[in-house]
Structure 1
Amino acid sequence: MAALGGTHRGGPGHPAVVREGDATHLRRRPTVPPGPGEISVAPLVAGVCGTDLQILRGLRDDGAPVLGHEGVARIVDVGPGVADPRLVPGAHVVVNPTHPTDPSFLLGHNVDGMLQARMLVPASAVGGGLVLPLDEVPQGNLAVLIEPLAVVRYAALALREHRPDTLLVVGDGTVGHLAVRTARRWLGPAVRTVHVHHTDQGLEWSAHTPHRADRPIGLADLAAGEPAGMLGRGRVAVLIATPAPATLPGLELALRATEGADVAVDLVGGLRGPALSPFFPGVDLARTRAANCGGEPRPPVVERLTTADGRQVSVLGHRGVANEHLVYAAAELCRDPESFRDLVTHETDLAGAAEILTALGRSERRTVAGRRLVKLAVRTAVPS
Structure 2
Amino acid sequence: MSGSHRAVVRVGGTVVVQERATVGPWREEVLLAPVFAGLCGTDIQMLRGLRSDPSPVIGHEGVARVVAVGSGVPGHLKPGTLVCVNPTHPGDSSFLLGHNVDGLLQERVLIAASAVRDGLVLPLPAANGTEDAALLEPLAVVRYALGLLAEHQPHTVVVFGDGVVGHLAVRAIPTLVGASTRIVHLHHTAPGLEWSKDHPVPRVHSVLNDAAGARLLAELPADERVAVLLATPRDATLKCLDIALGALRGHVAVDLLGGLPPGATSPLLPGANLTAIRAANCAGVPDPALRFVVRTSVGAAVTLHGHRGVGNDHLVAAAAELVERPGRYRELITHLVDVDGAAEAMRHLARSRERVVSGRRLIKLAVRFAPGDDTRGGVG
- Structure 2-normalised TM-score? 0.95
Q: Select the residue among 302, 305, 313 that pairs with 1:313.
A: 302
CA shift, 1:13, in A, is 0.6
Counterpart residue type for residue 100 of structure 2 = N
Q: Which residue of 2 aligns with 1:275?
A: 264
> 2:278 touches 2:305 (CA, 8 Å); kept in 1?
yes
> 1:165 touches 1:192 (CA, 8 Å); kept in 2?
yes
CA shift, 1:16, in A, is 0.3
> 1:73 touches 1:94 (CA, 8 Å); kept in 2?
yes
- Deviations along 1:325-366, whole A, 9 cap, x unmatched? 001001100001000110000010111111110110121100
- Deviations along 1:52-71, whole A, 9 cap, x unmatched? 01111111111111000000
> 1:151 touches 1:320 (CA, 8 Å); kept in 2?
yes
> 1:211 touches 1:339 (CA, 8 Å); kept in 2?
no
CA shift, 1:232, in A, is 4.7
CA shift, 1:223, in A, is 5.1
- 1:322-341 alignment to 2 at 5 Å? 322-341=311-330
Q: Which residue of 2 aligns with 1:26?
A: 17
Shift in CA distance, 303/98, structure 1 to aligned 2, threshold 3 Å? same
More off after superposition, 277-286 vs 133-142: 133-142
Q: Select the residue among 47, 51, 55 that pairs with 1:60.
A: 51
> 1:137 touches 1:143 (CA, 8 Å); kept in 2?
no
Q: Which residue of 2 aligns with 1:286?
A: 275
- Deviations along 1:14-53, whole A, 9 cap, x unmatched? 0000001321100011101200000000001100000001
Query: Structure 2, unaligned stretches of length 5 or more?
Result: 373-380
The SS at the match of 2:259 is coil
Counterpart residue type for residue 332 of structure 1 = E
> 1:136 touches 1:334 (CA, 8 Å); kept in 2?
no
Q: Which residue of 1 aligns with 2:340?
A: 351
Residue 196 of structure 1 pairs with residue 186 of structure 2? yes
- Deviations along 1:269-318, whole A, 9 cap, x unmatched? 01121101101112220011000001000111110011111110000010
Q: Select the residue among 107, 111, 118 that pairs with 1:121.
A: 111
Counterpart residue type for residue 380 of structure 1 = F
CA shift, 1:221, in A, is 4.3
- Deviations along 1:204-231, whole A, 9 cap, x unmatched? 0000114265210101145541253336
- Deviations along 1:134-153, whole A, 9 cap, x unmatched? 02433631000000000011
- 1:55-204 alignment to 2 at 5 Å? 55-82=46-73, 84-138=74-128, 140-204=130-194
- Deviations along 1:135-181, whole A, 9 cap, x unmatched? 24336310000000000110111111100000000001111011100
Q: Which residue of 1 aligns with 2:220?
A: 230
Residue 365 of structure 1 pairs with residue 354 of structure 2? yes
Q: Distance in 1 between matches of 2:358 and 2:316?
A: 33
CA shift, 1:249, in A, is 0.5
Q: Which residue of 2 aligns with 1:3?
A: none
- Deviations along 1:85-120, whole A, 9 cap, x unmatched? 210000000000000111000000001000000000
Q: Identity over aligned residues, as a percent?
A: 53
> 2:30 touches 2:70 (CA, 8 Å); kept in 1?
yes
Q: Which residue of 2 aligns with 1:376?
A: 365
Q: Distance in 1 between matches of 2:344 and 2:202?
A: 31
> 1:166 touches 1:237 (CA, 8 Å); kept in 2?
yes
Counterpart residue type for residue 31 of structure 1 = T
Q: Which residue of 2 aligns with 1:7?
A: none
Q: Which residue of 2 aligns with 1:215?
A: 205
> 2:217 touches 2:244 (CA, 8 Å); kept in 1?
no
More off after superposition, 14-23 vs 70-79: 14-23
Counterpart residue type for residue 49 of structure 1 = C
Counterpart residue type for residue 347 of structure 1 = L
The SS at the match of 2:173 is helix
Identify which of structures 1 and 2 has the higher relative contact order when contacts are C-alpha pairs closer than 8 Å and 6+ apart. 1
Q: Distance in 1 between matches of 2:106 and 2:35?
A: 9
Q: Which residue of 2 aligns with 1:39?
A: 30
CA shift, 1:234, in A, is 1.1
Shift in CA distance, 88/222, structure 1 to aligned 2, threshold 3 Å? farther
Query: Structure 1, unaligned stretches of length 5 or more?
Result: 1-11
- In the alignment of these two chains, the number of paired residues is 371
> 2:87 touches 2:309 (CA, 8 Å); kept in 1?
yes
The SS at the match of 1:211 is coil
Q: Distance in 1 between matches of 2:192 and 2:140?
A: 23
**CA RMSD across the alignment:** 1.5
Shift in CA distance, 265/364, structure 1 to aligned 2, threshold 3 Å? same
